Structure 1
Amino acid sequence: MVQTKKVALWGLGIFVAYTIIHSPARAAELVQIGFEGISDAANNIGEFMTQLIS
């Protein structure tokens, strides 16, 4: 079980490194999209909590 997890993490790391080296502009775009999604989710949770209090 631990060995499988270790192999999967190495595989993911190699894939990420390959993607960054092969297409850095696309990798940056994906990171930006991810952070925008996290930011939107946090804003929506904050708005929801504000509506609960009001």
Structure 2
Amino acid sequence: MAQAKKVTFWVLAVFVGYTIIHSPARAAELVQIGFEGISDAAKSIGEFMTQLIN
């Protein structure tokens, strides 16, 4: 099981490195989309918690 995790990690790392080198603009766009999603989720959780208090 630990060996599978190592292999998966290295395959993912190589893929990310290749994507960044091959298409840096697209990689930056994907990172931006990811951070926007995290930000939207945090805002939604904050609004939910605020509604629970009120």
Normalised by the length of structure 1, the TM-score is 0.98
Please provide the CA RMSD for this pair.
Answer: 0.4
Q: What is residue 10 of structure 1 aligned with on the other side?
A: 10
Matched, 1:22 2:22: yes
Matched, 1:38 2:38: yes
Q: Percent identity?
A: 80
Query: Gapped runs of 5+ residues in structure 1?
Result: none
2: CA distance, partners of 1:19 / 1:40: 25
- The number of equivalent residue pairs is 54
Normalised by the length of structure 2, the TM-score is 0.98
Runs of 4+ displaced beyond 6 Å:
none
